[in-house]
Each structure stands twice: as C-alpha cells, then as structure tokens.
Amino acid sequence: MHIRAMTIEDYDQVVELMKRAPGVCVRTADSREATRRFLEHNPGFSFVAEDEGKVIGCAMAGHDGRRGYLQHVVVAQEYQGKGLGRKLVEACLAKLHAEGFHKTHIDVMTYNTKAMAFWEHLGWQRRDDLVRYSIITSDDENA
C-alpha cells in the first residue's frame, strides 16, 4: 500500500469509495468541480491510499485560515481494521500541523456509529458543547 497526495485524477475512484461506504453521503458539494476547487484551495492537504494502482482509501483535509477540517475519511471495507484510516488521518494532521493548524475538526453524521467509534479510538474528543447550523442558498437541498 502507498499513501500519496490526492489529485483531481483520483476523483472517480474516491467517489466510488464514498458511495460504497455506509454512513457517507455523496452530495452536490462533492462534485468534480467542487472537489477540484477544494484541492486547489488546500494543495497537498488531502491524501489517497493505493494498492496496486487502485484507490482504497482517502482523507480530504483543508483549513479556513484558523482551524483544520477533515471533510471525508473513507477506507474500502476490505482494508478496514488494518490501520490505513489512521495513517491517512496522520498524513492530513502532519500537513496541517506543519502549516500551523493545531486544532482540527470533523463532522460525523449522528447515525454513523462506526465512524464515531473510529474517531474515539484515535483519541478525538466528541463535542457536545456546540450545535452546527446550516443554510442552503440554492434550490439544491443536496448542496
């Protein structure tokens, strides 16, 4: 297995991984163009894992100038439990840390108990002291 920086050329394989992952939602905001903008805005912060040229894992990360954010972390089911998710997250955190971002967040759907267990296993702390609010400013509820 090999971990490297994600490029837009990885898009199709990453989206297929996301579609097969329970608890992961693929939205309009995950379009090729939106992903291209995200990668260009955050160069070198996102990573993929490959096995024999096939993308088997992905962690997308970026920042807002103050805090780091993980957008998607997904590993093919047959590769889970082998430390690959941890390695992808560590690659993202190392890049964020090197760029001066020392606090990182990830949003997890409340029904995704497997993901919550993963983050807690890695030592991440669940926040119960805040509530996220969102607004959609287009007709696309899947934005």
Nearest-angstrom CA–CA distance, 53 and 67 = 32
Q: What is the pLDDT of residues 14-69, one digit of tens each?
A: 999 999 998 888 999 999 999 999 999 999 999 999 999 999 999 999 999 999 99
Q: Give one DSSP letter per residue of 48-68, joined into a string.
A: EEEETTEEEEEEEEEE-SSSE
Average pLDDT of every residue of the chain: 95
Burial class (CB in 10 A: 0-12, 13-18, 19+), 103: exposed
Contact assessment for residue 107 and residue 127, using Cβ atoms and an 8 Å cutoff = no
The CATH class of 2-121 is alpha beta
Q: Which pLDDT value is given to residue 136?
A: 87
Q: Is the pLDDT of residue 137 over 80?
A: yes
Q: Is the pLDDT of residue 139 over 90?
A: no
Q: Is the pLDDT of residue 141 over 90?
A: no
| Sign of the dihedral through C-alpha 114, 126, 134, 143 | negative
Task: Domain ranges for the chain, please list them.
Answer: 2-121
Q: Which pLDDT value is given to residue 14?
A: 98
Predicted confidence band of residue 11 (pLDDT cuts 50, 70, 90): very high
Instruction: Could you list the beta-strand ranges (E) of the chain.
Output: 2-5, 47-51, 54-63, 68-75, 104-106
- Least confident window among 31-35, 76-80, 82-86, 131-135: 131-135
Nearest to 19 by CA among 71, 74, 85: 74
